[in-house]
Amino acid sequence: MRFNKSLAVAGALGLAVLTAGPALAEPVPTETPSAPVQTKSPEAPKPADKPTQKPADKPTQKPAERPSDRPKPTPTKTTERPISDRFSVSVSQTTQPGGKVSYSVQADPRATDVQISSRAFSGVHSVALQGGKASGTAAVWDNAKPGRYVAIFKVTANGKPVGTRVAHFTVEAAEAPAIEPRFGMSSYTAKPGDKITADIVGDARAKQVVFKSELFGVKTLPLREIGEGRGRATITFTVPSDAKAGSYDVRADLGRFGKPVAALKVSVSEEQSLQATPGTVDPGGKVAFTVVNPKGDRGHVDASGVLTGNARLVRSGDKLVGEGFVKRDARPGTYELRANVNGTVSAVTIRVREIVKPTPVTALDLRLEPARVQPGQSYFAGVTTQNVKPGTVVRFRDPGGKWTSARLDEWGTARVRLTVPKGTKPGPYTVKAQLPSGQSSSARLTVVKAEPKPGVNLVLVPNKLYAGDRFAAFVATPYLGKGTYATIVDPGGK
């Protein structure tokens, strides 16, 4: 017996299953047809009109509740969204012949493949997309010419084209091969305190070199071009006095152009030695002493006639230390000091330098009196000094270039009388005073035009008279303007 889908649904809902009638025995289609295509209405048989067909032993069911009476749902067909043709690509900007170009693709997750091609690539690259994404590198021809190139990306989905994108990149001229660096040192063995010179010759394109070592830290120096694309740099360093025995790497870092390394073997003497700091000291100064590899825990440094007393040495770590003071009246020179530790003697040399007394600052000041004169007139030139020994000769030079000498008195002053030659043209002139040391001072002398002396004439009218008579006095003078006052004194003093 065949059942339609309505009966199956009714059974799932727990409804009473009826005995299949003629209307329910129709064949069920394998595919669900759309409503307009049906040729037979599912509601044609009406069980409500044939109640006698129901079994007597089963409860009655209302016609409205029969599964066959319910309308069948209209089937729907899902429409898939088309694959988007929008996607992005990117490539590295520059490369060189024989190099590689990095790329990345991001497309619709349903896209499956991408073909990448370019005139600069060695073939077409087919890459499978994972979730619409892919990244990798493409090889550039070894003989690719420098220039700008286009990379073409064709995205497909199961063989069907989705879209095409392009990206640009530049192939630059192949760089010249790097010059092999040459690195060496003046010595590959040293002791504490030794000076070592390291020299590097390498590719000048590095521009600079970074020297590194535990012995001196890090130092960066520029490369000096020496031709043929090469550069050179030299460094000199001192092995620290407290350096321990062992091998130390000295590195010369030229970046991508090489990083050569040289090894310096430092050996430390086990002999006892004495060190003095500073090595040059002033009278009355302090000197610090250090004994390296001491042969005991205590000792002393002899005064040796230059120290105020023996300097006591005490242990500090693996060394002995102490300090001493140079005598204030110690003469300049070189002195040898000796340290005695349990009978083991070590020596060191110090130098006592001469105290140079500062030379007092001297002063020289020149003054003229008067500072304005006429041709043929005389004037005084005087100097005042400071910190100049009395009796020192001071030389004076007048405007005509003539030198006149005078000695400083006990107060440090000197004075001379100078005369302006007749016929000297009016104008400013310089008078100079100079000490034997070359120190000098200058003053300005102004020569003015000479004016004629005014003549005064007195006329009495009458010039003969008796006592008690009156007379007139007249004053006449050339070169004096109107309004100039003249004083006339009579015989009585009035």
Sign of CA dihedral 126, 128, 132, 135: negative
Q: What per-residue confidence (pLDDT) applies to 454?
A: 66
Q: Does 452 or 130 have the greater pLDDT score?
A: 130
Q: What is the pLDDT of residues 318-361, one digit of tens each?
A: 899 999 999 999 999 999 999 999 888 889 999 999 887 766 77
Omega into 240 within 30° of 0, i.e. cis? Answer: no
pLDDT-derived band at 33, boundaries 50, 70, 90: very low
- Predicted local distance difference test score (pLDDT) of residue 452: 65
pLDDT of amino acid 493: 85
Is the model's pLDDT at 262 over the cut of 90? yes
Residue 457 CA to its chain's centroid (Å):
91
Burial class (CB in 10 A: 0-12, 13-18, 19+), 354: exposed
The residue that leads in pLDDT, 212 or 272, is 212
- What length does the chain have? 494
Indicate the pLDDT class of residue 21, thresholds 50, 70 and 90: very low
Q: Give per-residue pLDDT as tens, 68-121.
A: 556 666 665 556 788 888 899 999 999 989 889 999 999 999 999 999 999 999
At 79, the amino acid letter reads T
> Which pLDDT score is estimated for 70?
63
The region, left, alpha or beta by phi > 0 then psi within -120 to 50, assigned to residue 279 is: alpha
Tokens read off for 383 = 């100097």
Q: How far apart are CA 491 and CA 261, in angstroms?
A: 120
User: What whole-number percentage of the chain has pLDDT above 70?
Assistant: 82
pLDDT digit string, tens, across residues 174-229: 778 889 999 999 999 998 899 999 999 999 999 999 999 999 999 999 999 999 89
pLDDT in tens, 148-162: 999 999 999 998 999
Q: Whole-prediction pTM value?
A: 0.31
* pLDDT for residue 78: 59
Q: Which residue segments constitute the domains of the chain, with CATH numbers given?
A: 5-69 (no CATH), 88-171 (2.60.40.10), 182-266 (2.60.40.10), 273-352 (2.60.40.1930), 363-447 (2.60.40.1930)
Average pLDDT over residues 248-257: 95
Q: In 3D, which of 415, 355, 414 has the Cα closest to residue 389?
A: 414
Residue 430 parent element (H or E): strand 427-434
Dist CA 164 CA 9 (whole Å) = 52
